[in-house]
Structure formats: structure tokens, C-alpha cells
Amino acid sequence: MPFVLSWAVLVSGAIWLFDALILKPQRVAAATTLTSAGTREIDAERVAQEPIIVEYARSFFPILLLVLVLRSFLAEPYQIPSESMVPTLEVGDFVLVNKFAYGIRLPVIGTKIIDVGEPQRGDVMVFIPPHDPRYFIKRVIGIPGDVIRWENKALFINGKRAGYEFVSQFEERTPFGFIPIREYTEKFAEGPHQIYRYAINEQPREWVVPEDGYFMMGDNRGKSEDSRVWGFARESNIVGKAVAIWVHKAPGFNWPSFSRNRWFD
């Protein structure tokens, strides 16, 4: 979307500018000449008339430019496509992404031009992963220099185990039967958050976060393809910080709902 929008702004602006500097003066001069020669006024007006493509470019350029500025530098909506962040975010949630929380970046290429802040552990962040051009949304677990260990479904950050408090247990039906799921409150940063744990055996693993990377995980630990699979989110591919749920629309023919609206801690 940023790529297409940037090109739309560039093309419409170029057409408008080329007409204003070159084509329009030629049309006006030709119309003036016809009028002086006694040509009918309606014919002169037809010669001076703005081409339809220029009219569209002049009309859409300011709107497209405004949308590009808003999406690139201020805020952007993002719809949750999967269950990887349940229970924090559900499929169909529309979140508001703060585009300047981690710095002002150029659209499309993502180069940071103004440094505002850095991602912190516990942030819910939108980014482009190394293996997929689409936007992903996960929670920041490790920042540059951290040592992350995943053992017995628990996080260890720089040797310190995250805090866990049991909330509830329920079962999820699958083609292979019912799978027990436990909900916990996890805390390793300023604000606690809810996670799901599945009864799935995993080998202990450890990662060292590089200087330009972030270790990301979904809150739905059994249904999240994240840094445990594809590595680190790179600083150059950060999109922004998710700050709020502003509307929810369940999949299918359902009306939007504002029942889940809230700001993130």
C-alpha cells in the first residue's frame, strides 16, 4: 500500500506540475491568438480547456498527498488477520498504529530521518518480518543485546524468568481432539499482559538479540509464527507501535462493533 500510494502521489503531482509549467501556458497562448484573430469565443475556450487527465491529477493530488503524510508519519489502521495475538487481540480487531513512536521514517524505503524513541520490552509492534512482505504484529520480547531463553513454556530474559500467574483453563476442539489451553498473566515489563499456553512439548532454545534486531512473540504462544521460527525483526522494517483498538469487525457478514475499544497499557 505505501508503495502504490507513493507512486500515485508522484505521478499525479508530476502531471499537474508539467501541465502548470508547460502545457497550460501553451494552451492559454493559443487561445489568446485565436481570440485576437476573431475566432469564436467557444472555440478559443475549447483550446484552453484543461485535459481530463490533468483535471483528475489536480483534483486527486492534494488528497493523495494528505493520505500519504498521515499514513507515513502519523498513524495507520491495521486489521488483525490471525489468532497469533489472542487473547490481547482478536481476529477482526482494527488497531491504530502510531507511526512516529519509534522515529520518523521515509515511506516505502523505511529509512529513519528523525529519532523519536526505541521499542521497549512489552510493546505491541507492527513490522515487516524477514521472510514475508506483509505486516506482522507481535509483542516485543527482546531488545538489542538481550539474551532470550524459551524453556518449559516460560521466558527468561537475561537470565531472569518472567512472572506468571494462572488465570484459567479451557479446551479447544481440533480435528485431533480437544487440546487444553491455559491462560496466564505474564509480566516482564511495566505492564502485565495475558497469554495462552498450549500443551505442546518444545525443546529449550536460546537467542542473543543483535544490535539492529528485536525478538518478537505472539501472546498466543501455541499459534504464533514468530522469532522462534524466522528470527529477528530488523530495525529498518519497523512500521510503528500499536496503541489502541478502535473498532472490531468479526469475519463474515457482521456489523462493526466498538465493544472492544481500548487503549493499550
Residue 223 is a catalytic residue = no
Domain boundary assignment for the chain: 2-73, 80-263
Ramachandran sector of residue 68 (left: φ over 0; alpha: ψ -120 to 50; beta: rest): alpha
Q: What pLDDT sits at residue 23?
A: 83
Question: What's the mean pLDDT in 142-165?
Answer: 96
SS (H, E, C) the chain: CHHHHHHHHHHHHHHHHHHHHHHHHHHHHHHHHHHHCCCCHHHHHHHHCCCHHHHHHHHHHHHHHHHHHHHHHHEEEEECCCCCCCCCCCCCEEEEEECCCCCEECCCCCCEEECCCCCCCCCEEEECCCCCCCCEEEEEEECCCCEEEEECCEEEECCEECEEEEEEEEEEEECCEEEEEEEEEEECCCCCEEEEEECCCCCCEEEECCCCEEEEECCECCCCCCHHHHCCEEHHHEEEEEEEEEEECCCCCCCCECCCCEECC
Question: What's the mean pLDDT in 162-170?
Answer: 95
The top-level CATH class assigned to 80-263 is mainly beta
- What whole-number distance in Å separates Cα of residue 214 and Cα of residue 231? 9
Q: Which of the residues 138, 224, 227, 241 is marked catalytic?
A: 138
Q: Which of the residues 12, 84, 224, 227 is marked catalytic?
A: 84
Q: What pLDDT sits at residue 27?
A: 77
Tens of pLDDT, residue by residue over 98-124, are 988 898 777 666 677 778 789 999 999
Q: CB count, 10 Å around CB of 249?
A: 14
Residue 84 is a catalytic residue = yes
Q: Is the pLDDT of residue 42 over 70?
A: no
Partnered with residue 193 across adjacent β-strands are 186
Q: Is the pTM of this model over 0.85?
A: no
